[in-house]
Amino acid sequence: MSFAEVLAGLPEVDHLSGIELTGPDGEIVQVENKPGSQGSVKVYHYLLEKYGTLDRAAAEAGLILYSEHTMDARAHPGKHPNVDRLLAIVADGRPWLGKMRDANS
């Protein structure tokens, strides 16, 4: 299944302005709900709703959802930072936390 097909099956995230991720060392990353990262907001939203945190199991599921982008990220590190983050979680096992940001607040 292609990434576009995966996205079509995920819940809508129009109610979100983005997702704030907090890494295991306290780093904070914003994934904005804007062109170029809307798909990542959908994937991360789904994973956080299902798993509660971005742990190894969630990251492995996310890599499947990213479909062809996962292969491209492995071939070209740095090209897909939102996929790279999941690859790192799988590799080191340290989870990230996520917080949804409501578009209306």
Q: Is residue 43 in a domain?
A: yes
Domain count across the chain? 1
Q: Is residue 94 in a domain?
A: yes
Q: Is residue 48 in a domain?
A: yes
Q: Is residue 59 in a domain?
A: yes
Rounded to an integer, what distance in angstroms lies between the CA atom of residue 41 and that of residue 33?
A: 6
Q: Is residue 105 in a domain?
A: no
Note down the domain range covering 89: 3-7+16-100
- Which tokens go with 68? 């062809």
Rounded to an integer, what distance in angstroms lies between the CA atom of residue 104 and that of residue 33?
A: 13
Q: What is the pLDDT of residues 54-103, one digit of tens each?
A: 999 999 999 999 999 999 999 999 999 999 999 999 999 999 999 999 98
Closest to 85 in 3D by CA, of 42, 45, 48, 55: 55
Q: Is residue 49 in a domain?
A: yes
Q: What is the pLDDT of residues 1-59, one digit of tens each?
A: 999 999 999 999 999 999 999 999 999 999 999 999 999 999 999 999 999 999 999 99
What pLDDT score was predicted for residue 104? 79
pLDDT of 105 higher than 70: no
